[in-house]
Chain A
Amino acid sequence: MSWVRENCVSFLELLCIKVVKTGRVPQHIAFIMDGNRRFAKKNSVDSCAGHYKGFDKLSETLKWCLDLGIPEVTVYAFSIENFKRSKEEVDGLMDLARDKFQRLMDELDQINEWGVRIHVAGRLSLLPEDLRVLVSKAMLATRYNYKLRLNIAYAYTGRDEISRAATHIVDGVKNNELSPQDIDDELVSRTLELGEAELLVRTSGEVRLSDFMLWQVSNTVLYFTDVLWPEFTVYNLLAAIIHFQRNAPPPKAVVDISETKQEFLNKMERQRWQQIEKYVSCP
Chain B
Amino acid sequence: MLSWQLRQFLFALVHWVVNLLVAIQNVYSRLRIKKCILPQDEVTKSDIRVILKHLPRVTKKLKHLVILADTDKHSVSDLARMVIWSLVAGISYVSFYDSTGELKENEEKLFLEVERNKKGVPGCIKWCRKPDLNGYTNGMQAHTVYINIFSCEDGRPTVVQCIRQIAEDRVVCSRESAEYTAQEIDNILMLMYPSIPDPELVLYTGPLCCTRGLLPWQIRLTEFIQLSLDHSINIDNFIGALYRYNKCDQRFGK
Bound complex: CA A81 to CA B160 (Å): 25
A183 within 8 A of B: yes
A214-B217, A246-B207 given; A163·B252 CB < 8 A: no
Q: Give the contact-size bracket for chain A.
A: 35 or more
Among B6-14, B77-85, B87-95, the one that faces the other chain is B6-14
- Verify if B2 is at the interface (C-beta below 8 Å from A): yes
Contacts of B142 in A (CB 8 A): none
Contact B167 A81 (CB under 8 A): no
- Alpha-carbon distance A84/B253, docked complex (angstroms): 7
Cα distance, A208 to B245, chains bound together (Å): 11
Cross-chain contact of B222 among A83, A208, A249 (Cβ < 8 A): A208
Contact A159-B209, Cβ < 8 Å, known A170-B167, A208-B223: no
Report the nearest B residue to A179, measured CB to CB. B167
- Contacts A209-B222, A246-B18, A246-B207 given; does A159 touch B167 at CB 8 Å: no
Tell me whether B224 is interfacial, beta carbon within 8 Å: yes
Q: Does A22 contact B (CB under 8 A)?
A: yes
Q: What are the interface flags for A180-224 relative to B under an 8 Å C-beta threshold, 1 for contact and 0 otherwise?
A: 100111001000000000000000001111110011011111111
* A211 contacts across to B, CB distance below 8 A: 220-221
A79 within 8 A of B: yes
B151 to A: closest C-beta gap in Å: 13
Contacts of A84 in B (CB 8 A): 252-254
CB <8 Å contact, B208 and A18: no
Report yes or no: A183 in contact with B167, Cβ–Cβ below 8 A.
Answer: yes
Closest to B162 in A: A166
Complex Cα–Cα for A22 and B219 (A)? 35
Other-chain contact of B209, A81, A160, A169, A222 (Cβ < 8 Å): A222
Residues of B within 8 A of A262 (CB): none
Query: Counting CB contacts under 8 A, is A42 at the interface?
Result: no
Interface residues of A in 169-183 (CB under 8 A from B): 169-170, 173-174, 178, 180, 183
Which B residues are CB-close (under 8 A) to A260?
none
Q: Please determine whether A157 and B220 come into contact, CB atoms closer than 8 angstroms.
A: yes
Q: Which B residues are CB-close (under 8 A) to A166? A: 162-163, 166, 180, 185
Q: Is the CB of A215 within 8 A of B207?
A: no
Once the chains bind, are B253 and A85 in contact (CB under 8 Å)? yes
Query: Of B152, B175, B210, which is within 8 A of A249 by CB?
Result: B210
Does A102 reach chain B (CB closer than 8 Å)? Answer: no
Q: Does B216 contact A (CB under 8 A)?
A: yes
The answer to whether A85 touches B248 (Cβ under 8 A) is no
Q: Give chain B residues whose Cβ lies under 8 Å from the Cβ of A210.
A: 220-221, 253
How far does the Cβ of A230 sit from chain B's closest Cβ, in whole Å?
18
A-B contact pairs, 12 of them (CB 8 A): A15-B1, A20-B11, A22-B10, A169-B163, A173-B168, A209-B221, A214-B219, A215-B159, A217-B210, A218-B155, A218-B210, A222-B210
Name the 4 nearest CB pairs between A and B, nearest first.
Answer: A81-B253, A159-B182, A218-B213, A173-B167
